[in-house]
Structure 1
């Protein structure tokens, strides 16, 4: 009886520390998010009064969002980012699946060499200047396709897909072949539906990368009408006047603009994530371990 009481007491102590650790971790993740959101709505006078740290603003101002969304070209930049995200992710997924599926087949001639070449690109690349010359030589320079084509395939995502496809029972594809299905039909009707967790995970990774595209736009895009949202927001922040004179609420400080820019760029991905989150962890774990 005493041993049972001690065991029960030990479990309660263990549960207490588990919940304590979870609470601490929750604060670590929640406080920065709350700080960013609050700072984007807080007048500069209140930020100064509280030493630059405000979690719950007593006054609310939309000046930062008005300045960001009212800037010339912001709507066009949003459309460019949306196009790159939707079209780019579609191209990413099609090409990645078409590369990963054949590499998962053990009877593919030269499979080991092809896999080695794919992995080689993960460790070494041609560098910025050769890549720029390639983009220029193919006529992609100063076009929206320069934001999509050069990074159309991620080696890491291909490996995730390959490992997942490779772990599927081969009997399924043999049965489909007997029924008259070709390789492409087996891919669409068997492999892709069964690989939904990993495909949704890879799609989310591509979406985040395409939405946040920045350096390719700096390197390859000169036309202001083709610049994505991230670059336009960067230009706004650089041109913002951080030295305030007179009434501190008459101008929008750089800090408030920065926080508002973070919110504006994060909201679209945050809205999409809940629909994919249930597949994310499962896809990462299974795609990385299996095979």
Structure 2
């Protein structure tokens, strides 16, 4: 009877997991295998893929060093800026805000997601353009500030677009914080800064690492914000992929860059998990 029950349990588990496994196979594994095959091929004379086996595409990766450099520099910088802005907001929502107001405040954070990122980024193009912030500064007698088509404009768009993805994991982590620990720390005479550094921050670290990993991984493939706010002067890997696949039709080289990007994401995720486990001790840390 025990063996039959165990077999039935495994069958039910496999049946429940089958749709998700099939989805992952069709939309994740098979496309990556196709990219891997293309990466070792050659570009056909008319564009596209020509079967072959060569490392030429990977050896040509330095030709897109600027895109890799911008991505690997601005993506972590954008994630760090998001963290610096998001943590105080999440802390206020979870610890300081009245419970009856939290739902409204959290809803206000989520509301921007109801509008297309394209529309919101176009709004920032106007704000940072000549008729927006620079015009306002010149009107009140301050020096003209040109930000559009610069890395600074891209960082502004990144923080605005990805801030909710950083706030929510940190908020969830802080919302689960046992308030009795904070009260005990205060009763024992600890200063607020000591309480924060010794209790609040370590216990919220899983949410912090989740938010940082989530935002950084998404930024590594970002295309829209650099394209619009960078004005073609601040290229990310995503912009290079669009150029290679849709314009120059160099599918093997684009596939090699895509495979390299996936490997970079795996490395970033692995490092983030190791850091989270080291600082969070034995507490469970979910990054994905």
1:35-50 equivalences in 2 (<5 Å): 35-43=34-42
Aligned counterpart in structure 1 of residue 108 of structure 2, from 117, 139, 143? 117
1:227 aligned onto 2:235: yes
TM-score normalised by length of structure 2: 0.72
Moved more, 158-167 or 230-239: 230-239
Specify the structure having the higher radius of gyration (Cα): 1
- Deviation readout 1:47-91 (Å, 9 max, x if unpaired): xxxxx899xxxx621233344x253xx222221111112211111
- Deviation readout 1:88-117 (Å, 9 max, x if unpaired): 111111211111001112555995454443
- Displacement of 1:206 in angstroms is 1.1
Whether the aligned pair in 2 keeps the contact of 1:147 and 1:213 (CA below 8 Å) is: no
Assess, with a 3 A threshold, how the Cα gap between structure 1 residues 177 and 10 changes in structure 2: closer, same or farther.
Answer: closer
What is the distance in 2 between the residues matched to 1:118 and 1:60? Answer: 49
Assess, with a 3 A threshold, how the Cα gap between structure 1 residues 156 and 83 changes in structure 2: closer, same or farther.
Answer: closer
Identify the residue that residue 249 of structure 1 maps to in structure 2. Answer: none
Aligned residues: 253
What is the distance in 1 between the residues matched to 2:147 and 2:9? Answer: 59
The secondary structure found in structure 2 opposite 1:151 is: helix
Assess, with a 3 A threshold, how the Cα gap between structure 1 residues 92 and 9 changes in structure 2: closer, same or farther.
Answer: same
Identify the residue that residue 173 of structure 2 maps to in structure 1. Answer: 164
What is the distance in 2 between the residues matched to 1:27 and 1:233? Answer: 23
What is the distance in 1 between the residues matched to 2:197 and 2:97? Answer: 19
The secondary structure found in structure 1 opposite 2:156 is: coil
Whether the aligned pair in 1 keeps the contact of 2:121 and 2:225 (CA below 8 Å) is: no
What is the distance in 2 between the residues matched to 1:107 and 1:15? Answer: 46
What is the distance in 1 between the residues matched to 2:157 and 2:42? Answer: 42
1:257-268 equivalences in 2 (<5 Å): 257-268=253-264
- Deviation readout 1:148-168 (Å, 9 max, x if unpaired): 222315224312321221211
1:198-217 equivalences in 2 (<5 Å): 198-217=207-226
Identify the residue that residue 80 of structure 2 maps to in structure 1. Answer: 90
Whether the aligned pair in 1 keeps the contact of 2:210 and 2:286 (CA below 8 Å) is: yes
- Alpha-carbon RMSD: 3.6
- Displacement of 1:256 in angstroms is 2.0
Assess, with a 3 A threshold, how the Cα gap between structure 1 residues 257 and 76 changes in structure 2: closer, same or farther.
Answer: closer
Assess, with a 3 A threshold, how the Cα gap between structure 1 residues 188 and 108 changes in structure 2: closer, same or farther.
Answer: farther
Whether the aligned pair in 1 keeps the contact of 2:169 and 2:207 (CA below 8 Å) is: yes
TM-score normalised by length of structure 1: 0.71
- Displacement of 1:255 in angstroms is 3.1
What is the distance in 2 between the residues matched to 1:131 and 1:64? Answer: 37
5+ residue gaps, structure 2, are 134-145, 278-283
